[in-house]
Amino acid sequence: MFPPNAQPPDGVSDDSARCVEDTLTIRRCAACNKLFAPLTPACSACASEDLEWVPSSGAGSIVSWHNFGRSWRAARGENYSWVTPRTFRRGGGTAVDNAYGDPERAARQLGNNKAVAKAHYIDETAPDNREVLERWARGERPKT
């Protein structure tokens, strides 16, 4: 389920779980067996798009977004108040895109399509030049 007033990412429905003939089912990656709720178009662990519906064990629990938010804020405290799902997604999407120069790869990590990842999560304002700048600051120059 998505939080109230939120829209699922493009290509993802809000069907986190289904009841099929009185059996609660959930999506599972056929390649690595990771379970997903909410849904994602691909496995975040192995990038497989082979997701299947399997019966849920019922061992999980439902947590309201409000209760999760309260616990999350308490765990972050003042020092990490900037850490939000959005900053994590932006940081992760940008890191993957910068590392591989591949917004499609970052989009798959985020569970979005490339257009959504580029519009909302990949920061293209400045490339990550820290390694080059740190070498430059140490006086190391590129070999010509």
| Contact set with Zn ion (CB under 5 A) | 29, 31-32, 34, 43, 45-46, 48
Measured from the CB atom, is 23 or 48 closer to Zn ion? Answer: 48
Cβ 143 to Zn ion, closest distance in Å?
Answer: 41
Which position has the token pair 């997701």? 51
Q: Parallel, antiparallel, or unpaired for β 35-36 and 23-29?
A: antiparallel
Cβ 27 to Zn ion, closest distance in Å?
Answer: 11
Cβ 72 to Zn ion, closest distance in Å?
Answer: 26
